[in-house]
Chain A
């Protein structure tokens, strides 16, 4: 319990501290706080002798992406706020606001997987939207304003659909659980057989549309490339790496109830539809993208599509792959955003055409960007390769041969797109007078830490994580 309190209290306290103390103090504190929180989450998830200390294994799984992101974002932000703001009072105001909002956003992202009350879950997700919209507009540019506006409007309207899902689930539970029940996930699971099946079906559809909007699933993804592309780099990493996973967590809670109450058919079909549309759309946008951060945003849509397809296949291997993919994607995507942020800062452009010879210009950041790109493309020995293989293997195992082949083909298209921009930006030498070389500092340590996770998860899945995955599969209720 202490660890749970600590993982919420640290970022919450840092959010308040960042407003009142100078950024030269709150910056390092945020870096330290991020690492401490990550340690608390990992200890709570994997270190306990008596098992998981989070509400259950599914919560524990979805705390891990936040741990990876906040642990590295804290460090990276320490460099970012100084690099991106002038050393005057206006810059100091920006730094304080940025650090406070980043810590508050991390806190809200941690709270989401800890909640199993469906109403509370909705409130926490809406809170993440509000905080992240404020972070996106902090850039102060017209593009940032446009992205923030589209994001908060689309995500809030989408989440209203999610709230309809919560209300309908409550209605479904009135018969077996009473007029005044607490909308607790475990209560619905316990009474699944007696829930009103029609209301559960409709609740799941609304939840998938609502929380799927937040997860960036096509065709509800319109906000994602703008917000991830125009937002500050650490915010993009937090949005892509942790927030999408939070939304996935909410969907899985609904899916678990729907699977038990009305069978797997509905969730499988719907996951297939949104998964394949997302994959198709992202794969082709990846081929023709010109903006390096929007490229990474479309890659997020692609990977959310892969996860949805994994859930749709339904075989335990595929579901385990989907859950593991959420963790792998978080690690690789945050690393890619961090490194892209270093490149865009040095080249002073986000246009892929303007970035050449990334490795020669920034030996560490450029190399890590190329490696993160290869990881996102699904190459071994990185974690994403493993989880994609598990998803496809699960697809064949479940007998969905044609769909598994379609997914594999779309992944190949995305692979080609990503590989194209990785080679374009990384190889060769920079045009014009671009300063070469980089000094070791917080940003590089953050990226190296991220890279260790990306590579580590590819080489070995810790036995504690395997146990968590097995228990989480049973919770999702997809294992047949």
Chain B
């Protein structure tokens, strides 16, 4: 779609999609846990904004409500909870020497390419904003989130990777299929929150046993 044909809400959606992807890529650059949490909060703010944008344009009260809930839970509550959880734990994230930041970014760039290529092969007619860019962004964020979880052997970083991965799917659900029933959106949000609580329980035990959140030490079960 030529750029001059975009309406203001579509242009906003496109810009937010780009910002979402940038925050996801920035996860590789950061080696301090508090930065990762801030990045997650910022990314969640973008997701809440796009949810609000789509809700306002479509006049869908359920999406507006979902945007408010997303803001409350993901932008405010979860980051505060995770910062509290971090108290007394080393705030640096270990970066494996074999796959450094530069190489990670190159792999991530390749994954974005795969996401764009896949999306370009799918002529989706959804009536939603920027369908192709939406799909490409969703796939890229999911792939990169997965990569972060693999490449950062730290429990906090892995939880944040999972949460950003879920942000990507949430973004895709809102923009590609804005008509999805409200109840499903709420259930998914609730489920993710419960998952985070369980993650937190495990992280606490891990820190108590090992005095560190490094998951590289979890190598007992092999074969």
Contact = CB atoms under 8 A, between A and B. Distances in A.
A101 to B, nearest CB: 11
A161 B142 contact: yes
A182 B179 CA distance: 9
Contacts of A129: 195
Nearest to B161: A157
B165 A157 contact: yes
Interface stretch (B1-9, B15-23, B26-34, B196-204): B196-204
Contacts of B180: 119, 167, 170, 183
Nearest to A129: B195
Contacts of B219: 146
Contact of B124 (A149, A199, A226, A288): A199
User: How would you classify the secondary structure of chain A's contact residues: helix, strand, loop or mixed?
Assistant: helix
B188 A122 contact: yes
Given A133-B202, A160-B166, A202-B118, A149 B195 contact: no
Interface in B163-213: 165-166, 169, 172-173, 176-181, 184, 187-188, 191-192, 194-195, 198-199, 201-202, 205-206, 209
B184 A202 contact: no
A164 B181 contact: no
A153 B179 contact: no
B179 A157 contact: no
Interface in B96-140: 118, 121-127, 138-139
Given A123-B184, A164-B169, A179 B178 contact: yes
B146 interface: yes
Contact of B149 (A130, A153, A178, A290): A153
Given A153-B162, A160-B162, A161-B142, A183 B205 contact: no
A143 B223 CA distance: 13
Contacts of B206: 145, 149
B184 A164 contact: no
A127 B176 contact: no
B14 to A, nearest CB: 18
A156 interface: yes
Nearest to B159: A153
A194 interface: no
Contacts, number: 138
Interface residues of B, number: 49
A181 interface: yes
Contacts of A181: 179
A167 B126 contact: no
Contacts of B165: 157, 160
B158 interface: yes
Interface in A173-208: 174-175, 178-183, 196, 198-199, 202
Given A119-B187, A157-B165, A163-B188, A229 B221 contact: yes
Contacts of A174: 125-127, 177, 179
A150 interface: yes
A160 B191 contact: no
A150 B149 CA distance: 11
Contacts of A161: 142
Interface string A290-304: 110010000000000
Nearest to A179: B179
Contact of A146 (B121, B124, B218): B218
A126 interface: yes
Interface residues of A, number: 54
Contact of A145 (B123, B194, B209): B209
B91 interface: no
A152 interface: yes
A199 B219 CA distance: 39
Nearest to A149: B202
Among B126, B192, B221, max chain A CB count under 10 A is at B221
B221 A143 contact: yes
Contact of B122 (A134, A175, A179, A202): A202
A149 B177 contact: no
A284 to B, nearest CB: 12
Contacts of A178: 179
A153 B146 CA distance: 10
Interface string A277-297: 000000001001111001000
A147 B126 CA distance: 41
Among B138, B161, B184, B205, max chain A CB count under 10 A is at B184
B169 A149 contact: no
A120 interface: yes
Nearest to B205: A145
Contacts of A148: 202
A181 B177 CA distance: 10
A230 interface: yes
B124 A196 contact: yes
B129 to A, nearest CB: 13
B202 A182 contact: no
Nearest to A289: B223
Nearest 5 CB-CB pairings of A with B: A119-B184, A180-B179, A179-B179, A146-B218, A170-B177
Given A126-B195, A149-B218, A171-B177, 20 more contacts: A119-B188, A127-B194, A130-B191, A130-B194, A133-B198, A149-B206, A152-B199, A160-B142, A160-B166, A167-B177, A167-B180, A170-B173, A171-B124, A183-B181, A183-B184, A198-B122, A198-B124, A202-B118, A202-B122, A225-B221
Interface of A: 117, 119-120, 122-123, 126-127, 129-130, 133-134, 137, 142-143, 145-150, 152-153, 156-157, 160-161, 163-164, 167-168, 170-171, 174-175, 178-183, 196, 198-199, 202, 225-226, 229-230, 285, 288-291, 294
19 contacts: A119-B187, A126-B195, A127-B194, A133-B198, A143-B220, A145-B206, A145-B218, A152-B199, A160-B166, A164-B142, A167-B169, A167-B177, A171-B176, A174-B177, A198-B123, A199-B122, A199-B124, A225-B221, A230-B221
